[in-house]
Amino acid sequence: MSAQVLTPAPAPEQSAITAALTRAAKRPAWMLSVAALIAVVVFGFLAPHTSASFRLSATDAAVKVPPLVVPAVAFGWIVALLLIAAAAWAWFLATQRQRSLPGWAMGLAWFVFLAGLMVWLVGTANNPDISLVQLLTGSVALSLPIIFGSMSGALCERAGVVNIAIEGQLLLGAFGAALGGLLTGSLVGALVTAALGGLLVSALLSLFAVKYLVNQIIVGVVLNVFASGLTGFFAGTLLKDGENFHDMPKLAKLPIPGLADIPVLGPIFFQQTLLGYAMFLLVPGLWFALFRTKWGLRVRAVGEHPKAADTVGIKVNRVRVSNVLLAGIVAGVGGSYYTLVSTSEFSRDMTGGTGYIALAALIFGRWNPLLAACAGLLFGFVTNLQYILAQAGTAVPSQFMAMLPYIVTIFAVAGLVGKSRGPAASGEPYVKE
């Protein structure tokens, strides 16, 4: 019987697989090539014949450091050469080894590009002199609501609930802080009401998404519109009636003696408000909780494969609801930044889409609190860069500068991350049949 066996010669077809892998590796190589070209033309040939100056300490700093002065032409060419080298390496790997650049090299290349861009932008400004300290501390400040928002998103999505309502949570947090602050006059009161504001949005989200199985994206969008309308209405009525109101409290900076005087790092890490310090603890804390504890393992299982979690005795919907509620508290407290730190008055829609940027940061950061916080910092940095450069009188039209954060967001989410895989069951309600 075995005589009639027909076996095709098992010639392993390697060319097809090679072609597919090469194609995948070529995309980053193309992007680096474009970056290198921009660097050669813009940072190299079109470089301003000035030096860009970056001040490293504030005028009132206890420890003074001389400013960093970078000659624009020379630096531009160094950046261009480094990027050409990176692109060449990427092409070599793509065509000869069917691989992409290692992640650290890719990250480094984009950092170099960003540095080149900064020096060029500052160099071409009317006054080529900016404060690096101001740029960085401002970035951290601006990224604070983004990062609180992404942590809220991480808490929800890791448990399998899509949270589009971050924007609404932040907004009600900001409103809550304003209301609580005016009514009680105390910071604690303001923070508690901020948390309650976020919690209200979360309660509605979990009610509709977990209990009534409504499409979570739609619920999220509706909640944002609801939050905007609600706060807009009450801002015009409730907050205007000032008879029994106290003075609005403010979260002051709490410099840590000694450490606060370290050049550059001190102002960033050790001259923060209570919210800033809370953020520095929250991000690694949440990462640890999600990836190193029993609680986190269960949350992630619920977000990945709720039925598997159910069969080992985990109450899926209970985990989801409690996570969504916790996320509301986190985002609500983050939203208090707007009325307790950056201004002292609530204004309509003052979050201005930060919640959506937070969502983008979450995806860019691959649903990992640490990476999402880095993405949030990047967005904050780009926003602040725009302000600082406007002050320095940049040659680039202000409209283009204003676009910068959003362009970075689109590139980050669509182009640079490649395929990132979120929690498998995110957005899917869990029903026992």
Nearest to another protein of 304, 428 (CB atom): 304
DSSP 63: S
Nearest to another protein of 14, 59 (CB atom): 14
Instruction: Select the span of 1-9, 160-168, 242-250, 326-334 touching another protein (CB under 8 A).
Output: 1-9
Instruction: Select the span of 19-27, 77-85, 180-188, 278-286 touching another protein (CB under 8 A).
Output: 19-27
162-201 positions binding another protein, by CB under 8 A: none
Residue with tokens 């804390």: 285
Is 424 a binding residue for another protein by CB under 8 A? The answer is yes
Cα separation, 366 vs 121, whole angstroms: 30
In the three-class reduction of DSSP (H, G, I as helix; E, B as strand; rest coil), residue 170 is classed as helix
- Binding string, residues 269-308; x marks residues near another protein by CB under 8 A: -----------------------xxx-xxx-xx--xx-xx
Instruction: Select the span of 37-45, 203-211, 216-224, 310-318 touching another protein (CB under 8 A).
Output: 310-318
Q: Which residues of 94-128 are buried (b: 16+ CB within 10 A; e: fewer)?
A: beeebebbeeeebeebbebbbbbbbbbbbbbbeeb
Q: Which of 315, 345, 391, 420 binds another protein (CB under 8 A)?
A: 315
Cα separation, 337 vs 276, whole angstroms: 9
Contact of 181 with 345, CB cutoff 8 Å: no
Contact of 351 with 335, CB cutoff 8 Å: yes
Stated length of the chain = 433
92-121 positions binding another protein, by CB under 8 A: 98
Cα separation, 21 vs 15, whole angstroms: 10
Contact of 191 with 131, CB cutoff 8 Å: no
Nearest to another protein of 208, 367 (CB atom): 367
Nearest to another protein of 232, 422 (CB atom): 422
Minimum gap (Å) between residue 288 Cβ and another protein: 9
Q: Count interface residues toward another protein (CB under 8 A).
A: 41
Q: Which of 79, 159, 283, 309 binds another protein (CB under 8 A)?
A: 309
Distances in whole angstroms, Cα of residue 175 to Cα of each of 210, 251, 294, 354: 26, 15, 35, 15
Nearest to another protein of 183, 314 (CB atom): 314
Minimum gap (Å) between residue 34 Cβ and another protein: 23
Minimum gap (Å) between residue 21 Cβ and another protein: 4
Nearest to another protein of 64, 315 (CB atom): 315
Is 414 a binding residue for another protein by CB under 8 A? The answer is no
DSSP 68: E
List, in sequence order, every residue forming a beta bridge with 130; answer none if it has no partner. 54
DSSP 368: -
Q: Which H or E run contains 130? A: strand 129-131
Nearest to another protein of 25, 83 (CB atom): 25
Is 431 a binding residue for another protein by CB under 8 A? The answer is no
Task: Please write down the long-range contacts of 176-180, taking CB distance under 8 Å and 24 or more positions apart.
Answer: 176/332, 176/335, 176/336, 177/335, 177/336, 177/338, 177/339, 177/340, 178/239, 178/248, 178/339, 178/345, 178/346, 179/234, 179/238, 179/239, 179/346
Minimum gap (Å) between residue 78 Cβ and another protein: 35
The distance from CA 126 to its chain's CA centroid, rounded to whole angstroms, is: 31
Minimum gap (Å) between residue 66 Cβ and another protein: 46
Is 11 a binding residue for another protein by CB under 8 A? The answer is yes
Minimum gap (Å) between residue 15 Cβ and another protein: 7
Minimum gap (Å) between residue 322 Cβ and another protein: 16
Minimum gap (Å) between residue 94 Cβ and another protein: 13
Nearest to another protein of 1, 63 (CB atom): 1
Instruction: Select the span of 14-22, 119-127, 157-165, 265-273 touching another protein (CB under 8 A).
Output: 14-22
Minimum gap (Å) between residue 259 Cβ and another protein: 28
The distance from CA 1 to its chain's CA centroid, rounded to whole angstroms, is: 66
CB neighbour list of residue 353: distance below 8 Å, 6 or more residues apart? 167
Q: Which of 59, 96, 126, 311 binds another protein (CB under 8 A)?
A: 311
Is 241 a binding residue for another protein by CB under 8 A? The answer is no
- Positions touching another protein (CB under 8 A) are 1-2, 4-8, 10-13, 15-17, 19-21, 24, 98, 292-294, 296-298, 300-301, 304-305, 307-315, 421, 424, 432
